Chains A and B, each alone.
Chain A
Amino acid sequence: MSAPTLEVRNLRTHFFTRGGVVKAVDDVSFTVEAGKVMGLVGESGSGKTVTGFSILGLVDAPGRIAGGQILFKGRDLATLPEAEMRGLRGNRIAMIFQDPMMTLNPVLRIDTQMIETVLAHAKVSREEARQRSRDALGQVGIPSPDERLKAYPHQFSGGMRQRVAIAIALLHKPDVIVADEPTTALDVTIQGQILAEAQKLCAQFGTALVWITHDLSVVAGLADDIAVMYAGKVVESGPVTQVLDAPLHPYTLGLIGSVPSRNRRGEPLRQIPGMTPSLLNLPAGCAFRSRCPRAEPGCAEPPPMAEYRPGQHARCIHPHQEAVAA
């Protein structure tokens, strides 16, 4: 078997601020194969977005990758010179952001922005570049792409803008797409459309997709594998069915219990007490232990990531091994 398309190994991205070192990403590992969807789930401040930025080499000072490897088809992106990274970014590895206005320049027409992206990485004529841009817009389901190419971003609705952003990410048929909460700002019916496009494109081009989200329900329907992050660490990872049906880590169990649809109507939700700790002064040992119903003295030692079931790992010394009733 060849190397996976993307393999993140023990990634550490730290921010060296005046207030101290913020370990936004601290020992994160996962693998994405071609044509598969990896769901990276976590609450705000868990480090999921910084993980995505690290893959694309977009971490700015005072942050930097302090350790670990990001292997893209066997090449380590973490140590790649910026010049080579520029050749890959937007070409072989692309990103879709939560707010499509972050990707699109409000004062340039869509065609200008798309043709620019094509010409940045491919030696083709302007006409050929326009043709490719048009095809990409058609692929993501934008009606009459020829006319829409001449429009400005503000003339699109939120859902359409996100499609344009996806079309730009797709221009070079990248091997990896990192999508950071791309449907969070969208309405339910529009979210359904975008998820449908993502599924289709993944299957069609064999793109490895990293889908970053806080919404377990989206991941449940879309992803093959899932990694749950808490306070900069992956606390549980594995195939999506296993992790959601039989979670090992108490945090994963708590998150699933917090989703309203899973509970019986009108009954209290199984809430996680307390709140996410500040990354500036994390307690030693398991970061979840102050909120964990199973915490014991042994949790003061940092728990190692261990495989409790085939393919399913958890960072916990007392995981839920028994089958969980739905």
Chain B
Amino acid sequence: MSETLTALPATETLADPIIELRGVSKRFSKTLDFAGRIAKRLGANLREEVVHAVDGLDLTIRKGEVVGLVGESGCGKSTLGRMVAGIMPASEGSILWRGRDMKSLNAAETREAKLRTQMIFQDPYASLNPRLKVQEIVGEAPQFHGMAKRGEIGSYVDEQLRRAGLDPALKARYPHQFSGGQRQRIGIARALAVQPEFLVCDEAVAALDVSIQAQILNLFMKLRRELDLTYLFISHDLGVVEHLSDRVVIMYLGRVVEEAPAEEVFRRPNHPYTKALLAEVPRIEARKRAFAGVKGEIPSPLDPPSGCHFHPRCPFAFDRCRVERPALRPVGPAHRSACHLNDAA
């Protein structure tokens, strides 16, 4: 494989990782209540319910990269985004910020790391405080962190708003006076106000109309060029991810099933789930096509299938898939996939 390594994109070989996840898991458990504990002591078949939202996941994001994270609802992509953004601790494994474990950082360094990573949320209606004016929403954090002096905060906020494509004259208004697209711009201005280098966008355009979605996507690309930003772009919309990302990571039920440069994923998908997902995406170019549909439902993360999580829906599943968890293995340059079929071939 060594000769193919030279074909790696520059970001893969040159840039330093900005964030690294090593064997990260996140479990949510519902502990038994008092009655439940008594019933269990008396021999009832009760156990604590544990959801493995993210299950032993490795991921590296390098400086300047746009990584698209794709998956269906319940696959753990938002949980992963929150852990990367540092607003939710991992249950297991380590998260490295610029090569250093987040747990080993002191208080000031942790604050610095968290400040450099900002998050943009899906719902521009729920993520802005309705009782604060736009200038307060955008200006609060930089003022607290001393990025702008008290006297200069007005012009600082103006600059943030202008960069996000909003008229600074509107800064004395409240969020409800803005449309969905404008609110998303406020959310972007707020994130940019603390001068981050890494943005986690969790379904940031999903709630917007198509024409507004295009405006916001263009804004993301413009900001990337101007501010040299790194993105983790979480979305269920493959079209958006294909357009924006350098590298795509596909998740299914808490695990990465495939990871590759964007063009490679869409041209040569390896994992059966990726193939099914790509086949199901409605394309504007495809006319009067027959939809087929992947069989079955997404299983409950409370009780995931054994072995490969996708095997109950996979048309190629064989015995080994039911018992053994497939590892993420290279199948091409910078292309990794977790499927036992690759070993058989």
Q: Check B214–A189 contact: CB distance below 8 A.
A: no
B287: interface (CB < 8 Å): yes
Q: CA of A244 to CA of B221 in the docked complex: distance in angstroms?
A: 26
With both beta carbons as reference points, the residue of chain A lying nearest to B179 in the complex is identified as A275
Query: Which residues of B, 259-298, contact A by the 8 Å Cβ criterion?
Result: 262-263, 276-277, 279-294, 297-298
Q: Check B209–A262 contact: CB distance below 8 A.
A: no
Stretch of B101-109, B116-124, B194-202, B235-243 on the interface side: B235-243
Question: Which residues from chain A contact B237 at a C-beta distance below 8 Å?
Answer: 260
Q: Check A196–B238 contact: CB distance below 8 A.
A: no
Q: Check B280–A272 contact: CB distance below 8 A.
A: no
Instruction: Find B243's partner among A191, A241, A266, A273 (CB 8 Å cutoff).
Output: A266
Contact with B along A175-200 (1 / 0, CB 8 A): 00000000000011111111110010
Interface size class, chain B: 35 or more
Q: Check B280–A269 contact: CB distance below 8 A.
A: no
With both beta carbons as reference points, the residue of chain A lying nearest to B211 in the complex is identified as A272
A254: interface (CB < 8 Å): yes
Q: Check A261–B293 contact: CB distance below 8 A.
A: no
Instruction: Find A196's partner among B262, B277, B290, B297 (CB 8 Å cutoff).
Output: B290
A117: interface (CB < 8 Å): no
Query: Which residues of B, 218-270, contact A by the 8 Å Cβ criterion?
Result: 218, 221-222, 236-240, 242-244, 262-263
Q: Which residue, of B209, B236, B263, B281, has the highest number of chain A Cβ atoms within 10 A?
A: B209
Query: Which residues of A, 262-277, contact B by the 8 Å Cβ criterion?
Result: 262-263, 265-266, 268-273, 275-276
> With A214-B209, A275-B181 in contact, is A268–B218 under 8 Å at CB?
yes
Q: Check A240–B73 contact: CB distance below 8 A.
A: no
Question: Which residues from chain A contact B213 at a C-beta distance below 8 Å?
Answer: 258
B217: interface (CB < 8 Å): yes
Q: CA of A210 to CA of B236 in the docked complex: distance in angstroms?
A: 26
Q: Distance in Å from the Cβ of B313 to the closest Cβ of chain A? A: 8
Instruction: Find B287's partner among A159, A220, A266, A270 (CB 8 Å cutoff).
Output: A220
With both beta carbons as reference points, the residue of chain B lying nearest to A269 in the complex is identified as B214
Q: Distance in Å from the Cβ of B220 to the closest Cβ of chain A? A: 11
A96: interface (CB < 8 Å): no
Question: Which residues from chain A contact B240 at a C-beta distance below 8 Å?
Answer: 260
Q: Distance in Å from the Cβ of A241 to the closest Cβ of chain B? A: 6
Q: CA of A135 to CA of B165 in the docked complex: distance in angstroms?
A: 54
B147: interface (CB < 8 Å): no
Contact with B along A266-301 (1 / 0, CB 8 A): 101111110110000000000000000000000000
Question: Which residues from chain A contact B217 at a C-beta distance below 8 Å?
Answer: 260, 269
Question: Which residues from chain A contact B276 at a C-beta distance below 8 Å?
Answer: 189
Q: Check B221–A189 contact: CB distance below 8 A.
A: no
Question: Which residues from chain A contact B282 at a C-beta distance below 8 Å?
Answer: 191, 195, 215, 217-218, 220-222
A43: interface (CB < 8 Å): yes
Question: Which residues from chain A contact B287 at a C-beta distance below 8 Å?
Answer: 220-221, 240-241, 244
> With A189-B276, A241-B287, A260-B243 in contact, is A271–B218 under 8 Å at CB?
yes
Q: Distance in Å from the Cβ of A174 to the closest Cβ of chain B? A: 21
Q: Check A193–B243 contact: CB distance below 8 A.
A: no
Q: Distance in Å from the Cβ of A256 to the closest Cβ of chain B? A: 7
Q: Distance in Å from the Cβ of B126 to the closest Cβ of chain A? A: 17
Instruction: Find B214's partner among A188, A196, A258 (CB 8 Å cutoff).
Output: A258
Q: Check A196–B221 contact: CB distance below 8 A.
A: no
Question: Which residues from chain A contact B244 at a C-beta distance below 8 Å?
Answer: 260, 266
> With A217-B284, A220-B287, A265-B263 in contact, is A187–B298 under 8 Å at CB?
yes
Q: Check A196–B292 contact: CB distance below 8 A.
A: yes
Contact with B along A81-111 (1 / 0, CB 8 A): 0000000000000000000000000000000
Question: Which residues from chain B contact A196 at a C-beta distance below 8 Å?
Answer: 290-293
Question: Which residues from chain A contact B236 at a C-beta distance below 8 Å?
Answer: 187-188
With both beta carbons as reference points, the residue of chain A lying nearest to B262 in the complex is identified as A265
Contact with B along A215-234 (1 / 0, CB 8 A): 11110111010000000000
Instruction: Find B292's partner among A44, A192, A262, A268 (CB 8 Å cutoff).
Output: A192
Question: Which residues from chain B contact A275 at a C-beta distance below 8 Å?
Answer: 179, 181-182, 212
With both beta carbons as reference points, the residue of chain B lying nearest to A244 in the complex is identified as B284
Q: Distance in Å from the Cβ of A230 to the closest Cβ of chain B? A: 10
Q: Check B243–A261 contact: CB distance below 8 A.
A: yes
Question: Which residues from chain B contact A144 at a C-beta distance below 8 Å?
Answer: none
Query: Which residues of A, 239-267, contact B by the 8 Å Cβ criterion?
Result: 240-241, 244, 254-263, 265-266
Q: CA of A160 to CA of B297 in the docked complex: distance in angstroms?
A: 9
Q: Distance in Å from the Cβ of B314 to the closest Cβ of chain A? A: 12
B143: interface (CB < 8 Å): no
Q: CA of A256 to CA of B283 in the docked complex: distance in angstroms?
A: 11
B210: interface (CB < 8 Å): yes
Q: Distance in Å from the Cβ of B65 to the closest Cβ of chain A? A: 13
B60: interface (CB < 8 Å): no
Q: CA of A276 to CA of B182 in the docked complex: distance in angstroms?
A: 12
B159: interface (CB < 8 Å): no
Q: Distance in Å from the Cβ of A234 to the closest Cβ of chain B? A: 17
Q: CA of A213 to CA of B222 in the docked complex: distance in angstroms?
A: 30
Question: Which residues from chain A contact B279 at a C-beta distance below 8 Å?
Answer: 192
> With A188-B236, A214-B210 in contact, is A262–B285 under 8 Å at CB?
yes
For the A-B complex with A43-B209, A199-B291 known, give 15 more contacts whose Cβ atoms are closer than 8 Å: A188-B72, A189-B276, A189-B280, A190-B293, A190-B297, A192-B294, A216-B284, A217-B283, A222-B291, A244-B284, A260-B244, A266-B221, A269-B243, A271-B214, A275-B182
Q: List 7 A-B pairs, minimum CB-CB distance, nearest first.
A: A193-B293, A192-B280, A258-B214, A260-B243, A217-B282, A187-B72, A269-B214
What is B's interface to A at a CB cutoff of 8 Å? 72-73, 179, 181-182, 209-215, 217-218, 221-222, 236-240, 242-244, 262-263, 276-277, 279-294, 297-298
What is A's interface to B at a CB cutoff of 8 Å? 43-44, 157-160, 187-196, 199, 214-218, 220-222, 224, 240-241, 244, 254-263, 265-266, 268-273, 275-276, 326
Could you write out 19 A-B pairs with CB less than 8 Å apart?
A43-B209, A43-B211, A160-B297, A187-B236, A188-B236, A191-B282, A193-B293, A193-B294, A215-B282, A217-B282, A221-B283, A221-B289, A222-B288, A255-B210, A259-B210, A259-B239, A261-B243, A262-B285, A273-B215
